[in-house]
A and B are shown apart, each in its own frame.
Chain A
């Protein structure tokens, strides 16, 4: 390319929002599947929801919501040219995100111990509706977990960019976009919580 540098923050943000739309539709397909299956097996979904640990689910919700707040605070800090503070908030976000994954890991391993995972001999003895419930549970929380990991990787890169001044007071659109992605991860979880944990 030539020396011409094209910069369009509004365009970048628009592109990010469009990408978030695709993410929402991606999960939308699963939500369609969920609503159809729940309509078909209401009792089994009720019972399946009872097997999940609602307390851990709610703790994770608080963890994730707090991490969304710290991302916003990091953006504000960058806008005010408070680099150290911005980095501290981003580190906090990373820590909270990892906490979420650890709690999620405990939940999943508990389910595995109880034989409640796809293709498990124990699950196969349960009514079909509950098998579908756990199939959906692992698919949807798994895909969400994958998004948490991607989001954390993105935030780690952004943290590095803040440290190396690539993101600074007059140029923070990347951090904003990364923050938007993290909020999306958060919003999807907010839907997953009632659909699975509070279904009982």
Chain B
């Protein structure tokens, strides 16, 4: 069950075979694998910029008085930390990197449906990223509104909101085009015999994600355009002085931005659904339940946005409705968690770094998810609204969830993508400070929020001091872990030993091609005859 050897003559996608060589060969490539790597490199850079900003904000909270940076700079920093992490890392992270690289391979295709559009998406992404960076240094200075750009402050502030908002618009365009590409690819390019319910669960996750990208992103796009029009021409739709309504902005913003949370988490769940069968050597428990729960998260998740606005003055009926829907969305998420745990039960577990990070995901995501249900409870929400509890909650989901899943995906597919193996010992070493630091930092925030510490304040009262110090020390440990983690991977790309085609004993299609895969993935398009997680030895047992 190790490798189906294709002819060794076919060069890997990392070797230039076209007319152009070197950097130009990469910048003009339409190969989904190269585009994925270009996304990956860009995102790791943005991620560390975001981390650096986060660390500085934690340093500010080490004392109870203002130091290092001014209050205005602090405002700009939490705005930038949010914009970079959300729009440049967490939202595009898994679909653009691992979706691009593995979706075509997982369904047995040579590329995505629209390879040139795929490259265009990358250029839109980079353009948006550059505009976001430019907004820091031009105009009235770095935006200070928070990443949500709430009206009416975003209409009045002298800082460079217009450019930052336009950057987010361009990034949204990139995300939308990727969504269109993936849906078309899944509908049109599945290999013969790859029926819908024979697709690996990562494909289901990407499919539901892509639908959200298509259906939700345009709403935020038009909302951001309205902010720009409002700032330049004063059209008055969000401006109370002209009869407009700032709460309308909040609705339109969250109609996208809450589903965007599921753009972040669904592919993460897809990754976990890939990793767990491989390292338990058995088929996933409840395949269809996981597939359908992805779709229902995408559906129900689009109807819960107003839980971000419980204190904005909606009607009591709307409050109850959105609270109920918010709790309902926890059901499909829980279905997935139960199915993963059931798959582990009595599996022949092969404990490797990807599984360690997948289990970390489950643990941290459960804390993030359950605190999310707490946020959905109306009475409690009033108490914890705009406190550190919210900050802790979404870091558990986004970093503990999506971030850890992204690391797990990187560990799982790294040998396939680069054809090299990393030092497993270094990864285990990196995990420990990362995990401890993470929980010191964000569990500290959960408690601080319960105690009443408001978010986005650059100083704090003495009663919050101890936990702030704990959180700041945690942030150092976390960064230490991240540095070891990425250091180990970077070393591996240069000096790692050559990886086998199937180092983990996986059975999905990516493990049947060489590491790294050749340009068009498959010499012969495979014909699929069985379910995705079909382990032969398991059949013997049963």
Asked if B519 CB lies within 8 Å of chain A CBs, one says yes
Distance of A85 Cα from B215 Cα, bound (Å): 38
Residues of A near B114 (CB, < 8 A) are 15
Residues of B near A4 (CB, < 8 A) are 110, 520
Q: A33-B248, A131-B243, A132-B243 are in contact. Are A18 and B221 (CB under 8 A)?
A: no
Q: A1-B30, A139-B229 are in contact. Are A32 and B110 (CB under 8 A)?
A: no
Asked if A22 CB lies within 8 Å of chain B CBs, one says yes
Residues of B near A136 (CB, < 8 A) are 235, 237
Q: A4-B520, A15-B181, A132-B243 are in contact. Are A118 and B219 (CB under 8 A)?
A: no
Q: What is the size category of the interface that chain B forms with chain A?
A: 35 or more
Of the stretches B59-67, B76-84, B87-95, B183-191, the one at the interface is B183-191
0/1 per residue, B212-251, Cβ < 8 Å to A?
0011111101110110010001111100011111001001
The smallest C-beta distance from A154 to any residue of chain B, in angstroms, reads: 15
0/1 per residue, A4-43, Cβ < 8 Å to B?
1010101100110011011101111110110011001100
Residue in B187, B243, B248 whose beta carbon sits within 8 Å of that of A11 in the complex: B187
**Which chain A residue lies CB-closest to B182?**
A18
Residues of A near B234 (CB, < 8 A) are 118-119
The smallest C-beta distance from A2 to any residue of chain B, in angstroms, reads: 7
Contact in complex: B243, A29 (CB < 8 Å): no
0/1 per residue, B84-112, Cβ < 8 Å to A?
00000000000000000000000000110
Contact in complex: B252, A118 (CB < 8 Å): no
Residue in B183, B188, B223 whose beta carbon sits within 8 Å of that of A29 in the complex: B223
Residues of A near B133 (CB, < 8 A) are none
Q: A2-B520, A118-B236, A131-B236 are in contact. Are A8 and B188 (CB under 8 A)?
A: yes
Q: A132-B244, A135-B236 are in contact. Are A25 and B181 (CB under 8 A)?
A: no
The smallest C-beta distance from B7 to any residue of chain A, in angstroms, reads: 15
**Which chain A residue lies CB-closest to B114?**
A15
Asked if B280 CB lies within 8 Å of chain A CBs, one says no
The smallest C-beta distance from B99 to any residue of chain A, in angstroms, reads: 16
Contact in complex: A27, B183 (CB < 8 Å): no
Q: A22-B214, A33-B248, A132-B237 are in contact. Are A15 and B30 (CB under 8 A)?
A: no
Those of B487-529 within 8 Å (CB) of chain A: 519-520
Interface SS of chain B: helix, strand, loop or mixed?
Answer: helix
Asked if A178 CB lies within 8 Å of chain B CBs, one says no
Residue in A14, A21, A28, A131 whose beta carbon sits within 8 Å of that of B184 in the complex: A14
Distance of A21 Cα from B217 Cα, bound (Å): 11
Contact in complex: A10, B243 (CB < 8 Å): no
Contact in complex: A18, B243 (CB < 8 Å): no
Contact in complex: B226, A139 (CB < 8 Å): yes
The smallest C-beta distance from A108 to any residue of chain B, in angstroms, reads: 13
Residues of B near A143 (CB, < 8 A) are 222, 225
Distance of A98 Cα from B237 Cα, bound (Å): 30
Contact in complex: B222, A27 (CB < 8 Å): yes
**Which chain B residue lies CB-closest to A15?**
B184
Asked if B209 CB lies within 8 Å of chain A CBs, one says no
Q: A14-B184, A132-B237 are in contact. Are A22 and B242 (CB under 8 A)?
A: no
The smallest C-beta distance from A71 to any residue of chain B, in angstroms, reads: 22
Distance of A73 Cα from B223 Cα, bound (Å): 37
Residues of A near B235 (CB, < 8 A) are 118, 135-136, 138-139
Residue in A19, A127, A130, A139 whose beta carbon sits within 8 Å of that of B237 in the complex: A139
Residue in A8, A28, A132 whose beta carbon sits within 8 Å of that of B218 in the complex: A28
Residues of A near B217 (CB, < 8 A) are 22
**Which chain A residue lies CB-closest to B217?**
A22
The smallest C-beta distance from B435 to any residue of chain A, in angstroms, reads: 40
Q: B residues bordering A, Cβ < 8 Å? A: 18, 30-31, 110-111, 113-115, 117, 176, 179-181, 183-184, 187-189, 214-219, 221-223, 225-226, 229, 233-237, 241-245, 248, 251-252, 255, 519-520
Known pairs A2-B520, A22-B215, A26-B222. 10 more at Cβ < 8 A?
Answer: A8-B113, A28-B218, A30-B222, A33-B237, A37-B244, A44-B243, A118-B234, A119-B234, A132-B237, A136-B235
A-B contact pairs, 10 of them (CB 8 A): A2-B520, A8-B189, A19-B180, A22-B218, A23-B218, A26-B221, A26-B222, A28-B219, A132-B243, A143-B222
What 6 A-B pairs are tightest by C-beta distance, nearest first? A128-B243, A135-B235, A26-B218, A29-B222, A25-B218, A11-B188
